Structure 1
Amino acid sequence: MATTRIVSVFGATSSSVVQALLKDGTFTPRAITRDPASDPAQKLKAQGVEVVKGDSLDKPSLLNALHGSEAVFVVTAPIFPIKAEGGGPNELVMGKNIVDAAKEVGVKFFVFSSLPSISKISGGKYTVLHYDQKAVVEEYLKASGLPNASVHLGVFLDNYWKFGLLRKTDTGFDMSVPSYKADDLEAFTWVERDLPAVVLTLLKNYADPSKNISGKTYPIVNATISYSELAERTGKALGTKVTFTPGPPTGMTTLDDMYAAQAEYSGLFTATPVSNPDLVALGVQLGTIEEFLETAVKPRFG
């Protein structure tokens, strides 16, 4: 009798990773959520996904939720207002609790959606706690002894429709981003398409020592280009005028530091070529901007 290979997913109620696991069939997804009665959790249940209550701020609940899991995929979200270490509940507490619980119940592989430390990249010029806290948890995971891999995402291309990046105007469309000049570079990630593909590949190959996966960080970047170039390409795809307008600061220090740092340091991932050779070596072919515009943007905005 085949053993069920359970992958517990944190952030599952909004995760395309669960859908990829369901479609592929190699693993059985288990959604970990604080509220199994929520509408998104109920929709997962209707698809046959096991939904288990677990609170990342409550380690005992995680021990029960993760029992029997072969692997985990973890996305943590910042708690606003974001608090520094020792100041109250934050992503450091959540991430470390999940790592500790996973190790205690015998999880064999841990995939963490992390981010680079902006404080380190900028030499302290900028402080963006939700980046820095994820980076600390990533190092904690690497030191835990658990086989692991981390993924880093750029700005979501999916924000075209999820957060209104592409907005209708009288003449076509406009993009507006705080603190960015027209020629500032940004790293973009097509999350719905490529995050699930990468995570599934890592899960399928982590036990193969020849793949040398454990302990690595995998930036998933489809393109590093300026917003003005992205607007121009979008306009060509849609056959209409698409402009980029630099926006004013938000007035929220954390967000303004995030935008300023990403603009100054070209999206934070310039050390990784596009396409990432570590992902290419695993057989992952990321989508192009042209594919994104043709298959995801034109049906929505065309």
Structure 2
Amino acid sequence: MSVARIVSVFGATGYQGSAVVNALLKTGTFVPRAISRDPDSEASQKLKARGVQVVKGDSLDKASLVNALKGSEAVFAVTLPTFIPGKDEVVQGRNMVDAAKEVGVKFFILTSLPSIKAATNGKYSDCIQYEDKVAVQKYLKASGLPHASLHLPYFLENFWKTNHLKKTDTGYNIAVPNYPATSRQSFLWVERDIPAAALALLNNYTDPSKDINGKVYPVVTANMTYPELAAKTSQALGAEVTYTNTGPTGVTRIDDMFAFLSGSNGYYTTPIPNPDLVALGMKFSTVEEFLAEEVKSRFGN
């Protein structure tokens, strides 16, 4: 009898994790297990109805995670930012890593970010949403647990998740704070490219020749200026789409983040598509596909 290859997913009812669960369900190779603080929630019940294992576990309670992760071959981990009330991102990450190591998890995938503080020699030091993820990534590396990290750029789904694409009297406008029109940005289609990257790692991590352990993989769908993205969006929607730099928000961690990203043209220098992930069998999506499949259906007339 074959043993189920269980992949426990943190954030399975959220943005990134739900996309990974969907992909795992389709493989026939891996069994997704959703780690949920409330297995009785409506979102958890919907997962159960689709045949997903839902197990109670709180990322701020290591003991609950030890119970939740037993029998898991791998983990896909998303940590929530400390600025969300009641969350401490570093504690979350350490608990996930410690529990995974204790129960014998063989491979750990972490979604993370680079250090803005280090990249700017301390110029921008208040971006806690980046630095906490860096701390978790360092803790994971020091743990000795076989792992890989996915570094993520701006989410294309922010068109509707954070209302960056809005209807105007003459068409649509993309509005982003503190981002000059001449600076490029790195973009990611979360729903397609995060699970594709995760599956590429899961399918190959047992092969030492692939040299996956400990590596960081930027997952970038495209890199372009916002006016260029507006032009592509205009073509997809058949309507005028403009871009507006709305200026500083007054929130330091947000303004510094956009200042850093705009000053470094989206930061990530890995060729697009990332050749290391392509070599593992990943097929990247495109902005054009995203616009045709997601934006046109949501915003088109």
TM-score > 0.5 by shorter chain: yes
Q: 1:290 to 1:81 in 2, by over 3 A?
A: closer
Rounded to whole Å, the distance in 1 between the matches of 2:84 and 2:170 is 38
| Paired position in structure 1 for 2:288 | 290
Q: Give the C-alpha shift of residue 285 in structure 1.
A: 2.0
Q: 1:89: how far off?
A: 5.0
Instruction: Report what 2:159 is aligned to.
Output: 160
Match of residue 277, structure 2, among 263, 276, 279: 279
Distance 2:247 2:211 in 1: 44
Q: d(CA) in 2 for partners of 1:168 and 1:25? A: 41
CA distance in structure 1 between the aligned counterparts of 2:144 and 2:275, rounded to whole angstroms:
26
* Post-superposition offset of 1:212: 1.3
Give per-residue Cα distances to partners, 1:11-47, cap 9 Å, x unaligned: 0112210011111121111101111121111111111
Query: What does the per-residue CA deviation read over 1:175-200, in whole Å, with 9 as the maximum and x for residues that have no partner?
Result: 11110111111100011011111101
**Runs of 4+ in structure 1 over 6 Å off:** none
SS in 2 for 1:13: coil
2:35 maps to amino acid: I
Partner of 2:193: 194
Query: Is the counterpart of residue 244 in structure 1 residue 247 in structure 2?
Result: no
Instruction: Give the SS at the match of 2:266.
Output: helix
In structure 2, relative to structure 1, the CA distance for the partners of 1:160 and 1:73 (3 Å cut) is: same
Identical aligned pairs, as a percentage?
60
User: Counterparts in 2 of 1:75-86, with a 5 A limit?
Assistant: 75-80=78-83
* Residue equivalent to 1:85: none
Pick from 42, 48, 53 the counterpart of residue 50 of structure 1: 53
- Cα separation, 2, equivalents of 1:272 and 1:265: 13
Partner of 1:268: helix, strand, or coil? coil
Specify which of 117, 120, 133 is matched with residue 118 of structure 2: 120
Q: Could you list the per-position Cα deviations for residues 136-170 of structure 1 after superposition, in whole angstroms to 9, with x for gaps in the alignment?
A: 21121122111101101110111122222211111
Structure 2: unaligned runs, 5 residues or longer: none
Distance in 1, Cα, partners of 2:189 & 2:221: 7
Seen in structure 2, the aligned counterparts of structure 1 residues 89 and 287 have a Cα distance that, compared at 3 Å, is closer
1:40-119 to structure 2, matched below 5 A, reads: 40-80=43-83, 90-119=88-117
The two structures have a TM-score, normalised by structure 2, of 0.95
Displacement of 1:7 in angstroms is 0.5
Is the Cα–Cα contact under 8 Å of residues 60 and 92 in structure 2 kept in the other structure? yes
2:227 corresponds to: 228
Output the TM-score relative to the length of structure 1: 0.95
Q: Which amino acid aligns with 2:288?
A: E
Separation in structure 1 between the aligned mates of residue 120 and residue 41 of structure 2, nearest angstrom: 40
Q: Which moved more, 1:284-293 or 1:151-160?
A: 284-293
Structure 2 counterpart SS, 1:143: helix
In structure 1, distance between residues paired with 2:270 and 2:33: 32
Q: How far apart are the structure 1 equivalents of 2:27 and 2:9? A: 15
Deviations 1:79-133 (A, max 9, x none): 3268xxxxx9511111011111100110000000011011111111112111111
- SS of the residue corresponding to residue 16 of structure 1 reads helix
Looking at structure 2, the residues matched to 246 and 130 of structure 1 have their Cα atoms a distance apart, in angstroms, of 22
For residues 262 and 37 of structure 2, the distance between their equivalents in structure 1, rounded to whole angstroms, comes to 35
Residue identity matched to 1:142 = K
Q: CA deviation at 1:299?
A: 2.0
Q: CA RMSD in A?
A: 1.3
Partner residue, 1:145: 144
Q: Supply the distance in 2 between the matched residues of 1:159 and 1:174 (Cα, whole angstroms).
A: 13
Query: How far 1:53 sits from its partner (Å)?
Result: 1.0
CA-to-partner distance for each residue in 1:207-249, whole Å, 9 max, x for gaps? Answer: 0112111111111101111111100111122111100011132
Contact 2:200 2:277 in 1 (8 A): no
Query: Corresponding residue for 2:26?
Result: 23
- Cα deviation code 1:243-298 (max 9, x no counterpart): 001113222221122122111122121x2111111011112121111122122222
The answer to whether 1:13 aligns with 2:16 is no
